[in-house]
Structure 1
């Protein structure tokens, strides 16, 4: 599994989602599976959380599902793409279900992200007044489905309607990968062959896997992934305004530097926080890793 995400659907009942298709880079997509647990150690599954309905616009690169509970229902934000160029570029669509384990069905009318540029890895953030924002990445050239002409991956925020079905206004650029001193051009460790869909000739910097977390004191920080000196890595950005608009400053060193990433912070009903991510970053060896973390007003640190 890549891109793991954990939801506590009810006290002591956990659901794990992630990118679960074996042909994750460009093969035909099956959907998303999930797993359930009552202790975060033993997991039952897989359970079919989402299977695309007949006529669904996407058929490949089903990536990075995140699920939130809202108004008695469960909403999934996930990345989808199509092998048919006429279907448009990769985007983030919203799905809905009555149960945390699904079955999920389309909620938004196709992607909520812009229909003219490829986007990936959406995460929901709520302002203090409850306004919903989708924070997501635009991939650099050389990444599967990346955008020609972009050599420096970008992070955006897009306001959503209250019902999470449509965008409101235009997306705002939050920062680029090069803003972080630790972000380096994409590379793979010796002996690890990159997926054939990658074209590394452009030496792209990239952004992916955003996740926003607010500290007890009100500080807003963002976990996000790129590549560093030791492979795939996760860094931390902080909003000076305490809002999604930023401006965002970057921690000098990555939170996790060693060939693992696309993480989220899961805080359970007892108040225990864990960094959840996939490690290593070598297909098909990726596994879900949970590491205790401490969240302060100024930083996120591994305990």
Structure 2
């Protein structure tokens, strides 16, 4: 079935490309793009920046300042658990052993897996697609699922440890467990599936900076774990970017592994690392050698919907801890 599916994709690609060309926007400034969870791959082979995020689209740029898109790059299997038209969140691009991998959260709203405290939990999971090229198309691999179908999981990212073992780091959503967790699961050597069971690294309530008010008006730890990204400082310290909330402010934090491995224990920093209403960060180095953090700004529009735009900050990891510098304007 998978071979037939891939052959159909190849036949339809020329027609899809013609239709897509008419919808493309060109020379769009970065801060004019509406996008949550921006993830940027600086691909040296093509001297091109590729940006993905929530929504399942891709943008391309040669200079970070002006972008062309959005491109359709996902060719999921409509006969899989994802269904015909899944929601796609927090897509990431990772180059690994000569191929390109698309880590994303897929949601099939037609499948309900649980009900907790009146909230209906939809089928949602982190999954991995593959391509030979950074601009896709990204197609399914062997395994139908990476994570348990009865758990809503999101924001999967790739980490390869010093023994060359690949892992997916992901969140178990707070809507089900009421105290969101950050978890890891080992991946197969070609990332085509997962091995064993997920293990908890830390919980949302471990953070000293994330807060919310309960029904009685008392301040308590926030429930949300969001957007993990693993990095290592130049001194060898292992860190994890992750996001939660400080009351109504979407906020970027960081934790560090005391053991220097993915198993932790993870020690949370006392304070957030960015101004309020920035989050879901990741790190990349631009073609000039500058380390940057890509994340999105966050505000609520008049209709109550979130308005988010990509934003870049300069970052320094020469010491034991990540230091966020001034904002970076690629147009200057």
In structure 2, what is the equivalent of residue 46 of structure 1? 70
Question: Aligned equivalents of 1:95 and 1:103: distance in 2?
Answer: 9
Are residue 17 (structure 1) and residue 52 (structure 2) matched?
yes
In structure 2, what is the equivalent of residue 157 of structure 1? 184
- Larger Rg belongs to: 2
Contact 1:94 1:108 in 2 (8 A): no
Q: 1:61 aligns with which of 54, 69, 87?
A: 87
RMSD (Å), alpha carbons: 2.1
In structure 1, what is the equivalent of residue 270 of structure 2? 252
Question: Aligned equivalents of 2:241 and 2:179: distance in 1?
Answer: 18
Pick the structure with more helix per residue.
Answer: 2
Contact 1:229 1:257 in 2 (8 A): no
Question: Aligned equivalents of 2:188 and 2:234: distance in 1?
Answer: 27
Q: Give the superposition deviation at 1:51.
A: 4.1
Long gaps (5+) in structure 2: 1-34, 114-121, 215-219, 326-332
Question: Aligned equivalents of 1:229 and 1:122: distance in 2?
Answer: 25
The TM-score, its normalising length taken from structure 2, stands at: 0.76
Q: Give the superposition deviation at 1:42.
A: 0.9
Question: Aligned equivalents of 1:225 and 1:186: distance in 2?
Answer: 18
Q: 1:291 aligns with which of 313, 321, 324?
A: 313
Question: Aligned equivalents of 1:5 and 1:99: distance in 2?
Answer: 17
Long gaps (5+) in structure 1: 21-31, 142-146, 188-201
Q: 1:128 aligns with which of 154, 162, 169?
A: 162
Are residue 7 (structure 1) and residue 41 (structure 2) matched?
yes
CA displacement 1:162-198 (0-9 Å, x = unmatched) = 01112112111100111111111389xxxxxxxxxxx
Contact 1:232 1:258 in 2 (8 A): yes
CA displacement 1:20-57 (0-9 Å, x = unmatched) = 3xxxxxxxxxxx21111111111111111214344243
Q: Give the superposition deviation at 1:60.
A: 3.2
Map 1:43-122 → 2, pairs under 5 A: 43-58=67-82, 59-85=85-111, 89-122=123-156
CA displacement 1:188-234 (0-9 Å, x = unmatched) = xxxxxxxxxxxxxx995110100001112211100000001560001
Contact 1:151 1:204 in 2 (8 A): no
CA displacement 1:87-139 (0-9 Å, x = unmatched) = 88311111011111111111242331222211000000000111001000011
Contact 1:19 1:64 in 2 (8 A): yes
